[in-house]
Amino acid sequence: MKQFFTLCTLAIMCFVGAVNAQNLFNQDFTSSASVDSYFSNNNSPTTHQLNSISKFGSTQPSISNTSLKWTKTNGQTSGSSAVLIRNTPISTGDISFLKFQFKLKLSYLSASDGTSGFLVYLGSGSNTNWTSFSSTAAPVDSELFTKFDFPVETKEDPDNTVRYRIGSSSVFSSANDWEEVTIFCNKSASQVSYIGMNGNSTSLAANAIDVWFGTTRVRTAVAATTSSVNPSMFKMVFPSQMHAMNIELDYIKAWDQTVLPVTLTGFSGKAVESGVKLNWETASEKNNSHFEVLRANNAIDFQTIATISSKGNSNTPSAYQYIDYSPLVGTNYYKLKQVDFDGQSEEFEKVVMANFGLSKSNLQAYYTNSALKVIYQKQSNAVKANVKLVDISGRIILSDSFKLNEGINHLSFNKNLSSGVYLLNVEENGKLNSIKIII
């Protein structure tokens, strides 16, 4: 059997490594439009609540598009800081290898140039700068596993942007857009290996941290401030010295990287005639309920498109496959999410891409399992199209109409067809598209 179709395929990246972990904290600001629901203002927050979100002066927080937002209109003005604190430990046990992550968007507001920065503290203790919700100061070093700052540069000319500056010359992000910051903390006495944000196996020395900005490791093996401190609390400060800007935070997460319920050894995908085929493999699984397949058109806004049952508990390799029969036109981005039986979940960091489109014709078709599969890309503002299949003698084998959706339409017609040559016609708004099919 011959099949005539044309699909654009983009090479897919694969990786090896155990990248899942036990989630300790997860806040994405989607459950409520009220800021007050995301903090407790006492020492008894729920598992994924903060202890405090600051409300200083004119720098008031809000929930905007399911993210936490401060509008800092008074740049470099006393009392215009923004602070959030989680001083109730996110784990009662010792965390020997922590991954802490958040997404940040700083947007330019006023005509001013300058460099300041925001600060992140990870540790634990009872120092007043941990316990006081009004304090913007750093906890004492004896109660910090690590502390670091991200210098922020605002530029009025030429493009009114916010840039993140690491070192004297390295500048990251010249757009007012979301960026992902990830900190790996190795509290153990030996070197550890992990999958970095670039998808590669990465080593981290004992009692040290790595800091990633997007897929770039911007600080490597920075020695811990006090290596004996458990990094079970966190504090983030955007001080009054920062210039006027919108500050947005989202997806604040923390994981204990020493707990690995799933060891993923491969994830790949490619465009095929019927859609995009994804394959992944695991070396072992523990307490694994299922996988979710996530898709996006921009590598950021992922949505679940399928749920795949898993093996649950296994010490042997397992293979999985899923076909996305309705991919987006153009580049599709895919991720995997693993969900435990107890409801805990984690997204694997690796993203695979597949470009799906009709490169030479707006009409493609193939015959399989006694069904004629038609892939058609809408050409006009018409709401329906007519389809007709004729054999080489001109005899009409199939005639039907279908509702047109925007972009690519996937159709299936159950029909027993004999071997031979057929002509498939699709008429939309007076325009005829035809292809030859050989079975």
pLDDT digits (tens, 9 = 90+) for 242-261: 878 889 999 999 998 875 56
3-class state of residue 141 by DSSP: helix
Helix (H) or strand (E) holding 395: none
Under the banding of pLDDT at 50, 70 and 90, the label for residue 111 is: low
Under a CB-based contact definition with an 8 Å cutoff, are residues 397 and 391 in contact?
A: yes
Question: pLDDT tens digits, residue range 394-410?
Answer: 889 999 988 888 777 88
Comparison of pLDDT for 273 and 102, the residue scoring more: 102
* The token pair that represents 179 in the structure block: 């960026």
Q: Look-up: residue for tokens 């922020």?
A: 152
CA distance 108 to 156: 8
- Average pLDDT rounded to a whole number, residues 143-172: 71
Q: Is the pLDDT of residue 112 over 70?
A: no
Domain 22-256 has CATH 2.60.120: yes
> Residue 275 has what pLDDT?
80
What pLDDT is attached to residue 101?
96
pTM over 0.95: no
Q: How many CB atoms lie within 10 A of CB 93?
A: 9
Residue 251 CB neighbour total at 10 angstroms: 18
- Using DSSP bridges, classify how beta strands 352-356 and 330-340 pair: parallel, antiparallel or unpaired: antiparallel
| The domain over range 363-438 is classified in CATH as 2.60.120.380 | no
**What's domain 262-356's architecture?**
Distorted Sandwich (2.70)
Query: Could you give phi then psi for residue 141, rounded to 5 degrees?
Result: -60, -30
Range(s) of the chain covered by CATH 2.60.40.2550: 363-438
Nearest C-alpha neighbor of 172 from the set 222, 211, 202, 203: 211
Is residue 350 within 8 Å of 358, Cβ to Cβ? no
Looking at per-residue pLDDT, the higher value among 126 and 200 belongs to: 126
Q: Report the C-alpha dihedral over residues 319, 339, 307, 330, rounded to 10 degrees.
A: -80
Q: Given a cut of 90, is residue 316 above it in pLDDT?
A: no
Q: For the residues 62-89, what does the mean pLDDT come to?
A: 86
Which residues make up the CATH 2.60.120 domain(s) of the chain? 22-256
According to the model, what pLDDT value does residue 4 have? 31
Looking at the chain, which residues constitute the CATH 2.70.50.50 domain(s)?
262-356
pLDDT digits (tens, 9 = 90+) for 349-364: 788 888 876 545 678 7
